[in-house]
């Protein structure tokens, strides 16, 4: 989920209000909030071997015009963790991103189906972003996370970049930050993201992300 804000002021409804930097701030109904942690590396980390038993996993490039497949994988992974930025983006804007040669995106294949997504964004000079990284719950625990991170690092550092970064938030898996740190990333920034709840606008099912209940 791409951060929208990381400051002491956020847009809420039709006005602006201050977030307390030393206490609790009540949000209007219909809003969601998360703490975002950004992490980076400025050189390739020591390579870690693939775990045993991951020979059945493969990366398959998603066609740049195949928006339907991209969104199907995105929904498969993201409805547990409030991935919504691609769902609320106008189709023409999403198509422009996916058609940019500086953006790479792959489905993870296992047992004949799509079970993961890897998206790398090199549109900023001299840097790469691990834009989306996720696996279906059915393959978690099989070593696929380490396998996929190894592929991400290989592809990122094959480019002439000086920085590779990622962000995660408190709506994501609780082990995400530690996983990224074990992979060689170092935290460098923390912010607050506030947005309209995508379940109320119809972009996601009302039942999605039950650990972050809807407040109407």
What is the tens place of the pLDDT at every residue in 52-70?
999 999 999 999 999 999 9
Inter-residue long-range contacts of 25-31, CB under 8 Å, 24+ positions, other chains counted: 27/194, 29/215, 29/216, 30/196, 30/197, 30/200, 30/215, 30/216, 31/194, 31/195, 31/196, 31/197
Percent of the chain with pLDDT over 70: 92
Distance, in Å, from the CA atom of 186 to the CA atom of 137, rounded to the nearest integer, reads 26
Note the CATH number of domain 36-187.
3.40.630.30
Kindly report which listed range (6-15, 19-28, 104-113) carries the lowest average pLDDT score. Answer: 6-15
Q: What is the pLDDT of residues 107-131, one digit of tens each?
A: 999 999 999 999 999 999 999 999 9
C-alpha closest to that of 36 among 177, 204, 185? 177
Residues 5, 189: Cα–Cα separation, whole Å: 12
What is the pTM for the complete model shown?
A: 0.90
Residue 14: the pLDDT is: 40
């Amino acid at each position: 989920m791409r951060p929208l804000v990381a400051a002491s002021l956020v847009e809420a409804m039709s006005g602006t209000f201050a977030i307390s930097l030393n206490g609790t701030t009540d949000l209007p109904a219909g809003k969601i909030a998360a703490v975002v942690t950004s992490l980076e590396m400025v050189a390739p980390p020591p390579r870690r071997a693939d775990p045993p038993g991951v020979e059945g996993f493969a990366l398959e490039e998603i066609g740049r015009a195949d928006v339907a497949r991209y969104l199907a994988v995105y929904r498969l992974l993201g409805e547990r963790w409030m991935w919504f930025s691609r769902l609320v983006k106008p189709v023409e804007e999403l198509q422009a991103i996916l058609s940019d040669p500086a953006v790479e995106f792959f489905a993870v294949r296992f047992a004949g189906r799509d079970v993961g997504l890897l998206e790398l964004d090199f549109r900023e000079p001299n840097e790469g972003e691990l834009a989306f990284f996720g696996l279906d719950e059915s393959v978690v625990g099989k070593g696929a996370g380490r396998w996929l991170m190894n592929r991400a690092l290989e592809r990122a550092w094959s480019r002439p970049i000086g920085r590779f970064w990622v962000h995660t938030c408190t709506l994501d898996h609780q082990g995400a930050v530690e996983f990224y740190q074990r992979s060689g990333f170092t935290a460098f920034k923390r912010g607050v993201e506030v947005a309209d709840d995508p379940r109320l606008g119809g972009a996601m099912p009302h039942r999605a992300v039950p650990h972050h209940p809807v407040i109407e």
